[in-house]
Amino acid sequence: MSSSTPAAVNGNYNKKFKDDQFLCSPSRVLHIRKIPNEVTEAEVISLGLPFGKVTNLLMLKAKSQAFLEMASEESAVTMLNYYTPITPHLRSQPVYIQYSNHRELKTDNLPNQARAQAALHAVNSLHPGSLSSEGSLLPGQSPVIRIIVENLFYPVTLEILYQIFSKFGTVLKIITFTKNNQFQALLQYADPIHAYHAKMVLDGQNIYNACCTLRIEFSKLTSLNVKYNNDKSRDFTRLDLPSGDSQPSLDPTMAAAFGAPGIISSHYAGAAGFAPAIGFPQAAGLSVSAIPGTLAPLAVTTSAITGRLAIAGMAGNPGSSVLLVSNLNPDAITPHGLFILFGVYGDVHRVKILFNKKENALVQMADATQAQLAMSHLNGQRLHGRVLRIALSKHQTVQLPREGHEDQGLTKDYSNSPLHRFKKPGSKNFLNIFPPSATLHLSNIPPSITENDLKSLFENTGSTVKAFKFFQKDRKMALIQLGSVEEAILALIHLHNTELGENHHLRVSFSKSTI
């Protein structure tokens, strides 16, 4: 884009705004609208920081808009995918983000750029790396947050906290307790970036209208030790833990760290008008006969008909483990392909491509938690040239065809598949769940396999290999960077579990690192 005169360029950015709205082609330049007037350059930059380095910014204050340039298209795609289901807020006002039709920002000759450049310089001198690389953007950032719920007019349960906070990433553990007559919780994410996002978006928000205000701070603890799975504490990576009915959820070291009492008060369970918390996660809800019909800034809504709490945006049954996947490419999709892709985020039990509508499929995960995880990471990603649309299904299970009824192999049962990644309680795979990225993590590589062997393997699936490196300390693992996120998704589907000889099957997953 030429930068003939400042006025012309400014006009050019303004004029192309309407085109941007309908352009879906990814770009490392993002167009942000509806920005409140008092918002600073640093606040706009902070929207992009968790996803990678921000390289340029153009603020159009008169139009309440801005253009934000990321260092790579990959980080821009990750940012937009993240903010599509979760509208970002600046100064408590929603702002809207989309790809721009500009491939880069040329702002050298524009007036009023001094503040933007100063803000960029300040941020980059503080944060030379990014959270999506090996170095942490926030030094010492913990994946654990402490949550205090103020103005507790209605009971808040572990299930409700899980529903709200799991929208921001993989929740591994939650412990709830009462301290100073306040309902509090410690919540551990799989990745510090999730904790950062949740605090940035949710701190100060109300769960219900004008009450149950969330106060969130980063914890000094780096990990939680959960002993029991019950209505006070939960370790989602350890389904084998006892319920320990009358036991304290907080172990003594954490109780000391928080000055919490040794026995956790059950003061909030079963308050007047509420049924006891239902077993998690099949029915992520409570009887809410006591709650009026107007719950909501955090989008916890109630239906007078069903009396169930549900997070907005979660159509279908909030406790469902079945996903409806739509806008598939009917010529290219297979049950096995969906099994491998969704299997990155949980154990897939069944897949059904609909006989009369082959653009649609049902995917049944092991539980509702894994269904949420797969939906949050894969909705909006591109597969076989189509943008995936994923929602919770109203179905509780995927029905297998009756004996004698042939459905052309469109329904598959994977309940006993040896390829499930999360079968073992406490599996380390729970800690390595990341959004789709152009860089893939390879493991289980036999000693005889060379870098060129692996590059050829990926190139033969149609991928462009941009970079490759073996792990220095462990040559059984490597990173490979492909031409795009979509290429990486296809390569993962085709090559996960490929036989490499010497009884080694290649394991492929998405990486949070770049090469």
pLDDT in tens, 50-79: 777 899 999 999 999 999 999 999 889 888
Extract the tokens encoding 121. 């310089």
Q: What CA–CA distance (Å, rounded) separates 271 from 475?
A: 56
Q: What CA–CA distance (Å, rounded) separates 461 from 51?
A: 28
Confidence check: pLDDT of 303 > 60: no
What is the SS3 assignment for 310? strand
Question: What does the pLDDT look like over 377-407, one tens digit per residue?
Answer: 898 899 999 999 998 898 889 988 877 666 6
pLDDT value, residue 241: 83
Going 145 to 149 to 155 to 160, the CA torsion angle's sign is negative
The full set of domains in the chain, from first to last, is 29-125 (3.30.70.330), 144-235 (3.30.70.330), 322-413 (3.30.70.330), 434-510 (3.30.70.330)
pLDDT value, residue 144: 95
**126-to-69, 423, 509 alpha-carbon distances in Å:** 18, 41, 31
Question: What does the pLDDT look like over 357-381, one tens digit per residue?
Answer: 999 999 999 988 788 888 888 988 9
Confidence check: pLDDT of 289 > 70: no
Q: What CA–CA distance (Å, rounded) separates 32 from 67?
A: 6
Q: Name the band, by pLDDT with cuts 50, 70 and 90, for residue 425.
A: low
pLDDT value, residue 508: 96
pLDDT value, residue 161: 92
pLDDT value, residue 140: 59
Q: For residues 348-365, give the mean pLDDT.
A: 94
**10-to-27, 54, 96, 258 alpha-carbon distances in Å:** 19, 20, 20, 53
Please give the span between the terminal C-alpha atoms of the chain, in angstroms, as a whole number.
29
pLDDT value, residue 476: 93
**CA-CA-CA-CA dihedral for 116, 124, 218, 39, to nearest 10:** 0
Q: For residues 490-494, give the mean pLDDT.
A: 97
In 156-246, where do the E strands start and end?
171-179, 182-189, 206-208, 211-218, 233-235
Q: What stretches of 130-191 show up as alpha helix (H) in DSSP?
A: 158-165
Tell me if 311 sits within 8 A of 368, measured CB to CB. Answer: no
Q: Name the band, by pLDDT with cuts 50, 70 and 90, for residue 155.
A: confident
Q: What CA–CA distance (Å, rounded) separates 52 from 208?
A: 33
By C-alpha distance, which of 45, 9, 401, 57 is closest to 200? 45
Q: Name the band, by pLDDT with cuts 50, 70 and 90, for residue 119.
A: confident
**230-to-30, 242, 406 alpha-carbon distances in Å:** 44, 8, 43
The length of the chain in residues reads 515
Q: For residues 405-416, give the mean pLDDT.
A: 85
Q: Which residue has the tokens 């402490």?
A: 146
What pTM does this model have?
0.48
Q: Name the band, by pLDDT with cuts 50, 70 and 90, for residue 123.
A: low
pLDDT value, residue 487: 96
Which comes out higher in pLDDT, residue 483 or 277? 483
Going 413 to 415 to 417 to 420, the CA torsion angle's sign is positive
